[in-house]
Amino acid sequence: MSFDGTEGGSIPLTAGAALTEEYRKLNPGATKGHFFGKDILQEILNQTGCIGIRMYYGIDEEGNKELVLVGADANEDDMTALVADLSMPCPGVCGNANVFNS
């Protein structure tokens, strides 16, 4: 199989809320999410041949959950010339309380 750029899709708000609620129940006090600005996301997507972004889970030196982002091409291969991390974690930077972060 190969990627064509249409992978993934939207889900109803209620489904997303249920998924994140279950995660929060099972992981009280843990990182709930990460924010990446559009500039780094666009920089990844602008790489020649990039048709999407793969997100890897990671743990930093303090034991905190991290996301590591790389572009992916149509052959399902990671594009390793540009690697993103340094997201803004929630809690810390969560915005107003809503169904995803409270």
Average pLDDT of adjacent 10-residue blocks, the chain of 102 residues: 88 92 91 91 96 92 89 94 86 84 84
For residue 50, what pLDDT is reported? 97
Q: Are strands 50-59 and 65-73 parallel, antiparallel or unpaired?
A: antiparallel
For residue 98, what pLDDT is reported? 85
**59 conformational bin, left if phi > 0, alpha if psi -120 to 50, beta if neither:** beta
Q: Is residue 95 situated within a structural domain?
A: yes
Q: Is residue 62 situated within a structural domain?
A: yes
Q: Is residue 42 situated within a structural domain?
A: yes
Residue 12: exposed, middle, or buried by beta-carbon count in 10 A (0-12, 13-18, 19+)? exposed
Per the structure, the complete domain to which residue 85 belongs is given by: 33-102
- Using the CB atoms, write b or e for 18-36: b if 16+ within 10 Å: eebeeeeeeeeeeebbbeb
- pTM of the full predicted structure? 0.84
For residue 94, what pLDDT is reported? 85
